[in-house]
Amino acid sequence: MILRLPALLCCLLLSNYLTAQSVKPFKSGDRVVFTGNSITDGGHYHSYIWLYYITHFPTRRIHIFNAGIGGDVAQQMYERLESDVFNRKPTVVALTFGMNDTGYQLLKGAKADSAYQQKVAGALQSFQSIEQKLKQHPEARKIMIGSSPYDETSKTKSILLIGKNAAMRQIAVEQQLVAKKNHWEYVDFGAPMTAINLREQQADSAFTLQGSDRIHPTNDAQMVMASIFLKAQGLSGKKIADIKINATSKKVETAENCAITRLVISQDKLEFTYLANSLPYPLDTIPAGFGRQQKAQAGALKIIPFNNEFNQELLHVKGLLAKSYRLNIDGKLIGNFTSEALARGINLAAIPTTPQYQQALALMHLNEERWTIERRLREYYWIHYSILKPKGLLFNDGDATVDSLQKYAKRDFFVGLTMPTYQKARFKNVRDAWQKEMDLLTDQLYTINKPTPHRIEITAVN
C-alpha cells in the first residue's frame, strides 16, 4: 500500500535511500547522453550543465546530448536505447524516469493505492530490462537520476493527483539500489526539489518549481536541477578566480585559478593584468520554458545560492587608503566601491557588465541556439518514437506517412503542434544540415570560450 504521507515526512523517511552519491565530473572527450521523458526532452538542465563546463573548463571539451522523448515511460526508453542512445557512442549515459510511469489517474483511497502499485511494478519490471541492456555496454558510465517531483503541496488551481509523488519516490529508491548494486552513480532531483517547494510554500502557498501542471519544471527550476547535478559532481566551491592584493605591501597574496601580472600601485591607483582560467557563468534573464508559466533561468538566484556555490570571481584589495574607488576593466567603468567593500571582496561574476561576463553571454546565446536546433530534431524523433513506432512506421517518412500524420494532427493537439517541424525534418538533407549547424556552433563555443587578459584599474574617487 502506498502511504499518502506529507511530502516532508516522506522525504525524511526516504532520506537514507535518496542521499545523492558522488558523481564523477565529466572529463575531456566525454560524450554524455541524458535519457528521459518530456522533462529532459523539452528541458534545459542538461544544456545548463554543459554551459557550466564550457565556461568553467574551457579546455575540457565534452559533448552533451538530449535523448528525451515526451511522454515516455521506462519500457519506451528501453526500446530506444540502442537506436537513440548508444548510437551516439556515449561514454556516459544518464537516465531518469518515473513521472509518466506512475500515470495520471484521478482515483482516491484503496483504488489509487492499487493503481499506483501496479504502475510502479510495471515500471520496475521495465527497469530490469533497462538494467540488463545497460550492462551490455560496459564502455559507458551510467548515472541514474531520481526524477524531479510531482508537486502535491502547492496551492495552485491545477488538478491534484494525491499519492503520485510517493509512487515516484518508490521508483527512485529502486534506481538507487540498482545503481549501488552495479557500481553505477546516482543523483536525486526529487527530494531536494521537494524540500525547496516546501520551504518556499511557507511564504507563498502557490509557489512551485513544477509550473502550472505540477509536472514540468520551469526554467529557473531547470537551473536548480543543473546545480543539484553539479553539486553531486563535487563542483560546488570551485572558483572562477580568487584575487587577493595587499596595497600596503604592494604584493599579490593570492591568485587562485588565474595569473596576475604587471602590478602597479601608486598613492591613489592600483592596476594589474588579470588572466583567469575560467569564465563567469552567465544566466539568461528572458522568461522561457514549458507552457504558460514561463520563467527565466536567472530566477534560480532567488531560490538557491548558485553564485555563492558555483560562480565566484572574487577580487579582494586590502590596505586602500581612500574611502571610495572606481573600478575599470579594459578602460570600461564597472562601478564604484568603498575600500571596505574591496577589502571584504567583490564578486565580479555577479556583475554582467564586465568584459569577461559579456564574453560568457555570447557563449550562453550560442549554446541556446544549439539547444533550439537540437529541440527540432527531438520533435522529429518524438513523432517517430511516440506516434509512428506503435504503428510499425518507425523512420518511415514516405508520403503516405505524412498524409496519415496530417489527418491524425486534426485529432491530436501535440501532433498538430509538431507537424511543421516534422515536415521539414523528414528530409534527411535537412536533418543533416541541422546537425552540421550544431557541430559548427559547438566548434565556435570551444573557440571563443578561452579567457583573455584584462587590465584592471582601481582608482581613488576624489
Mean pLDDT for the stretch of residues 412-437:
97
Q: What is the pLDDT of residue 19?
A: 47
- Name the grid cell of 398: 514516405
Which grid cell is 403?
A: 498524409
**pLDDT, the chain, mean:** 94
Q: Which residue has the higher pLDDT, 198 or 20?
A: 198
The answer to whether the beta carbons of residues 452 and 73 sit under 8 Å apart is: no
Reported as a single tens digit per residue, the pLDDT across 230-253 is 999 999 999 999 999 999 999 999
Answer whether residue 9 shows pLDDT above 80. no
Residue 6 has a pLDDT of 46
The per-residue pLDDT for range 371-393, each reduced to its tens digit, is: 999 999 999 999 999 999 999 99
Judging by beta carbons within 10 Å of its beta carbon (0-12, 13-18, 19+), is residue 430 exposed, middle or buried? Answer: middle
Share of the chain above pLDDT 70, in %: 95
Higher pLDDT, 438 or 7: 438
Calculate Rg over the CA atoms of the chain.
25
Burial-class residue 144 by CB neighbours within 10 Å (0-12, 13-18, 19+): buried
Residue 21: what pLDDT?
53
The residues, ordered by sequence, that sit 6+ positions from 369 with a Cβ below 8 Å of its Cβ are 441
Q: In sequence order, which residues have a C-beta less than 8 Å from that of residue 303 and are 6 or more positions away?
A: 196, 200, 209, 220, 221, 224
Of 155, 134, 230, which Cα lies nearest the Cα of 189?
230
Which pLDDT belongs to residue 190? Answer: 98
Q: What domains sit in the chain, N to C, each tagged with a CATH number?
A: 7-232 (3.40.50.1110), 241-274+296-351+450-460 (2.60.40), 359-448 (no CATH)
The arithmetic mean of pLDDT across residues 91-108, rounded, is: 96
Instruction: With a cut of 80, say whether residue 2 has pLDDT above it.
Output: no
Mean of pLDDT values over 284-308: 89
- Cell numbers found for residue 94: 544518464
Report the range of poorest mean pLDDT among 105-109, 258-262, 394-398: 105-109
Segment 289-317 shows an average pLDDT of 91
255 bridge partner residues: 243
Question: What mean pLDDT do residues 30-50 have?
Answer: 97
What number is the average pLDDT over the span 305-312? 98
Position of cell 570551485? 238
Q: What is the pLDDT of residue 292?
A: 61
Q: pLDDT, tens digit, for every residue of 156-199?
A: 888 999 999 999 999 999 999 999 999 999 999 999 999 999 99
Specify the amino acid at residue 358.
Q
- State residue 356's pLDDT score: 98
Partners of residue 273 on adjacent β-strands = 261, 455
Please report which confidence band the pLDDT of residue 8 belongs to, taking 50, 70 and 90 as the band edges.
very low
Long-range contacts for 299-305 (Cβ within 8 Å, ≥24 apart)? 299/218, 299/219, 299/220, 299/223, 300/220, 300/221, 300/223, 300/224, 300/227, 302/220, 303/196, 303/200, 303/209, 303/220, 303/221, 303/224, 304/196, 304/223, 304/224, 304/227
Q: How confident is the model at residue 291 (pLDDT cuts 50, 70, 90)?
A: low
> For the chain, what percent of residues have pLDDT higher than 90?
91
Long-range contacts of 401-407 (CB under 8 A, 24+ apart): 402/426
- Residue 114 predicted with pLDDT over 70: yes
